Amino acid sequence: MRKNSFFTLIIATKNCTDSIEKCLFSIFNQTYQNFELVVIDGKSNDGTYEILQSSSNKISYLISEYDSGIAEAWNKAIRNSNGRWVFFLGGDDFLNTPFVLEAVHKFLIESDNKIKLVYGSIDIYDHNRKIKTEGSQWDRVKKKFNYYMAISHQSIFFNRTLFDEFGLFDVKYKIAADYDFMLKVLRKYTPEFMSQIIICSVSMGGLSNNFKNISSAHSEFSISSSNNRTNKHLYYIIYLRIKVLIKFTCKSISILFSSKKV
């Protein structure tokens, strides 16, 4: 554990040999270096842990063991870190430029000390092809938080005091633990949007890139928003599920026809 770090960067990994080196390089190559890196591996069996071990001298805390999911992995990481600001990214994500942490640090230093939550934009990729840049002012996404995680966790920096005040992530959520935590925080604090900073490049692959997982995510969003007394429109949740079903049906048809042409 590195003392007096400004940032704690947390990666939860599981079998991501194709991307973890690029992820690590994007972190180690940052111009701002006052950070600690904490990596929680879910007992990878494809060589991911061996790659991580090869960079262990640059990783403040590294462990590989079975866990119940990403929420438990994040909680382990938080308990074994001490940075003032906490950031989470996946093993298939990477910081967008070498200047990201420097820009975020500058923004935070110049901001009101009462700010507890800041976020920027992300670039979204599908098979190495950029799809879009996503990120909006809080006023434009605020209402959406009644229904789903309207800001990607790969764009958010959490002040560490939030975990002292609201506790850690609820491990009963397999996909929506970040959403549940955000709902608790948003009842008291307003996030600040770093409009000029693209934080991370995010792959469309991963935990949420199939209908079953997205449907499960929306179910968890509904449960969490209900528990936090924010979900007022059940029909909106139904609409989201229908929208996702149509999207993946169209994608499956497209893939089917493409394969026939070949």
Using one digit for the tens of pLDDT, what is the confidence trace for 138-154? Answer: 999 998 887 778 899 99
Confidence of residue 208 (pLDDT cuts 50, 70, 90): very low
Hey, what are 169's tokens? 């992530």
Residue 148 has what pLDDT?
79
Contact status, residue 247 vs residue 214, Cβ threshold 8 Å:
no
Q: Is the pLDDT of residue 224 over 70?
A: no
The C-alpha atoms of residue 175 and residue 168 are separated, in whole angstroms, by 15
Query: 212 pLDDT exceeds 50?
Result: no
Q: How far apart are CA 224 and CA 181, in angstroms?
A: 9
Q: Are 134 and 121 in contact (CB under 8 A)?
A: yes
Kindly state the average pLDDT of the residues 34-56: 97
Q: Are 9 and 82 in contact (CB under 8 A)?
A: no
**How does DSSP classify residue 143?**
G
Contact, 46 vs 17, CB < 8 A? yes
**Per-residue confidence band for 260, with pLDDT thresholds at 50, 70 and 90:** low
Determine what percent of the chain is predicted with pLDDT higher than 70: 77
DSSP 19: T
Per CATH, the homologous superfamily of domain 7-261 is Spore Coat Polysaccharide Biosynthesis Protein SpsA; Chain A (3.90.550.10)
**Inter-axis angle of helices 234-261 and 211-227, to 10 degrees?**
170
Distance between CA 27 and CA 6 in Å, rounded? 14
